[in-house]
Each structure stands twice: as C-alpha cells, then as structure tokens.
Amino acid sequence: MGVFTFVCRSSGDEWTGKSLSGELEASAPSTFDLQRKLVHTALSADSSGGVQSSFSLVTPTSAVFQVIIGGASGGAFIGGGGAAAASAGGAAPAAEAEKKEEKKEEKEEESDDDLGLSLFD
C-alpha cells in the first residue's frame, strides 16, 4: 500500500503538485487535470492495487492532494491546518466502530434511569 501526499499550488494559469518526499511532481492548467496527472504519477511509483484520492483546497491558490494505492477500502483523509494523515482499514475496524457506537448508546440509556425520574410515578 502506498500513500502519496502532494502539496499543490497555483501560480498564474498553472497548478503544480509536488509530493512531500519531493520525488514526484506534475503540473497542469486546472485542478482536475492536475489530480489526474498526480494519480498517474503515483501509479508509476506504486501500482499495487486500487486507487483512492482526496483533494482539499487550503486557500484559493493552494491545496493538499492525497493518493492512496492498494490496501483495503475505507481509507480516509483527515486534514487540518494543511496537515494530512491517512488511515486505511478493512471491515474489521468498521465492525469494531459499530460495536463501540452500540455500547455508547446503551450507556446513554442507562444514564436516563439514574435520574430517578419515571413517567409512572
């Protein structure tokens, strides 16, 4: 599985994207074309499976683009303040998350009983 994070900038009529490692880069006249070129560039470095991507504008002239190749479905892009982190998981983490949500819901129901109030008193 390969995760490639690109910092993208616009200067004039052209968008450029450069990987954080500095090894991969591409340029294009639009963000759409740049994303396509960066996916192909990432695939040339690692072609081990399916492709997921996420493009997020940070400012009108800069963005973060992430390409995840291979791995199981369920990848996510988490961004804030220009920082990016990737998380990919399969069905097992999703099932665990559902179980945790169910437990939280049960705890909330129990907390209502602790108030000592009842509709039938």
Domain ranges in the chain are: 2-112
**Model pTM greater than 0.95?**
no
Helix, strand and coil in the chain, % to nearest 5: 30, 40, 30
Q: ∠105-106-110 over CA atoms, to 5°? A: 120
C-alpha of 16 from chain center: 20
DSSP state of 118: -
Q: How many CA atoms lie within 13 A of 81 on its CB side?
A: 0
What digits encode the pLDDT tens for the residues 21-41?
878 989 999 999 999 999 999
Please name the residue ranges forming H helices in 15-63.
31-45
Per-residue pLDDT of the chain (121 residues; tens, 9 = 90+): 788 999 999 998 999 999 998 789 899 999 999 999 999 998 888 878 889 999 999 999 999 999 998 866 554 555 544 443 444 444 455 555 555 555 555 555 555 556 666 677 6
Residue 119, classed as helix, strand or coil, is coil
